[in-house]
Amino acid sequence: MPQQVRGVIARKKGAPVELTDIVIPDPGPGEVVVDIAACGVCHTDLTYREGGINDEFPFLLGHEAAGIVESVGPGVDSVEVGDFVVLNWRAVCGQCRACKRGRPHLCFSTFNASQKMTLTDGTELSPALGIGAFAEKTLVHAGQCTKVDSTADPAVVGLLGCGVMAGLGAAVNTGNVGRDDTVAVIGCGGVGDAAIMGASLVGARKIIAIDRDDKKLEWAKQLGATHTVNAAQADSVEAVQELTDGFGADVVIDAVGRPETWKQAFYARDLAGTVVLVGVPTPDMKLEMPLLDFFSHGGALKSSWYGDCLPERDFPTLVDLYLQGRLPLEKFVTERITIDDVEKAFDTMHGGNVLRSVVVL
């Protein structure tokens, strides 16, 4: 029997979100219904609401979530009813060219549920990133459910489902940060701080946090930054060079995603170092630079989608590290809110007052 539950939708571009009744079909082949325990508020949810992703309104928002598998459809054997799972937006297909070449983190045919969740009048919903977890329950593909240690706090580990994984992976997977590396991170929101935490985890020697907001720099220190630079008061490039004996950092991560921050990342980098772009630019942004600089500086210029993660490989390990007290994931949860307060959480996010607000159901 299809179930009726409450969920947060964005009905039309720019309008405040609404808590309303939605209909969840029984899981079909390869599908799973998950009872959502917690879901973080990510900038991308706001981007959906503002029409910045596409025009497929109404959206069912929310995508950084953890919960319990409530029911499974035919043919599902990767998870069972009662499993505690973190949801992901990279259920790799195993069949596309990227997967077959052994690069599943670049899979361009990832799985989502085939059936649609709807409003009570039958209007089909577009779930954010194929998840839609600001809801009591949601329907996803089985591959979007990664089983993790059930003793973990869902409000904390659900954040691995998007921003924290994107930032940590930008450092560890894409930037390949290792022991003895010097690292600089521009933009210390949830994503940048996760990159800092990742760099710290793998033993980077120096981790320079750069932001315009002193409060953010304070949080960055708690997550492993060894040095901080207030970009509103100092020249970020010069500051990084000074802190790295004039060389520049081995890896610089741009967690803002603007032409000026990317340029800073490029010039704050050691000659043979790596730039990682994880902040998402908007379509109007352009970059103009001397081509010769690209040539003469060498090194690697990379972008990072979802931290080049593989959920099945990365989530369980990171949850274990968190439970062992070796990964301070709990520091990303600034506040816990109810499902009625998503719109308010967008305002709080705009004001720069949180790393993450997390809806607890």
Q: Which residue type, as a one-letter code, is found at position 267?
A: Y
- The answer to whether 190 contacts ligand NAD (rule: CB under 6 A) is yes
Tokens linked to 71: 């029911």
Q: Which of residues 275-304 bind ligand NAD (CB under 6 A)?
A: 278-280, 304
Measured from the CB atom, the residue of 163 and 311 that comes closer to ligand NAD is: 163
Tokens linked to 274: 């790596």
Tokens linked to 40: 């973080």
Measured from the CB atom, the residue of 162 and 177 that comes closer to Zn ion is: 162
d(CA 338, CA 360): 6
The alpha carbon of 35 is separated from its chain's Cα centroid by a whole number of angstroms, namely: 21
Shortest distance, CB of residue 304 to ligand NAD, whole angstroms?
Answer: 5
Tokens linked to 22: 């939605």
- The answer to whether 219 contacts ligand NAD (rule: CB under 6 A) is no
Which one of ligand NAD, Zn ion, none is in contact with 99 (Cβ closer than 5 to 8 A by kind)? Zn ion
Shortest distance, CB of residue 107 to Zn ion, whole angstroms?
Answer: 3
Which one of Zn ion, ligand NAD, none is in contact with 93 (Cβ closer than 5 to 8 A by kind)? Zn ion
d(CA 99, CA 228): 39
Site map 32..71 versus ligand NAD, x via CB under 6 A? -----------xx---------------------------
Are 188 and 255 in contact by the 8 Å Cβ rule? The answer is yes
Q: Which of residues 100-129 bind Zn ion (CB under 5 A)?
A: 107, 109
Measured from the CB atom, the residue of 175 and 187 that comes closer to ligand NAD is: 187
Q: Which residues contact 330 (CB under 8 A, 6 or more apart)?
A: 153, 156, 322
Q: Which stretch binds Zn ion (CB under 5 A): 50-58, 70-78, 157-165, 209-217?
A: 157-165
Q: Which of 42, 32, 31, 81 lies closest to 64, judged by CA?
A: 42
d(CA 66, CA 253): 27
Are 55 and 126 in contact by the 8 Å Cβ rule? The answer is no
Positions that interact with ligand NAD (CB under 6 A): 43-44, 162-163, 166, 186-192, 210-213, 216, 231, 255-257, 261, 278-280, 304-306, 352
Positions that interact with Zn ion (CB under 5 A): 42, 44, 93, 96, 99, 107, 109, 162
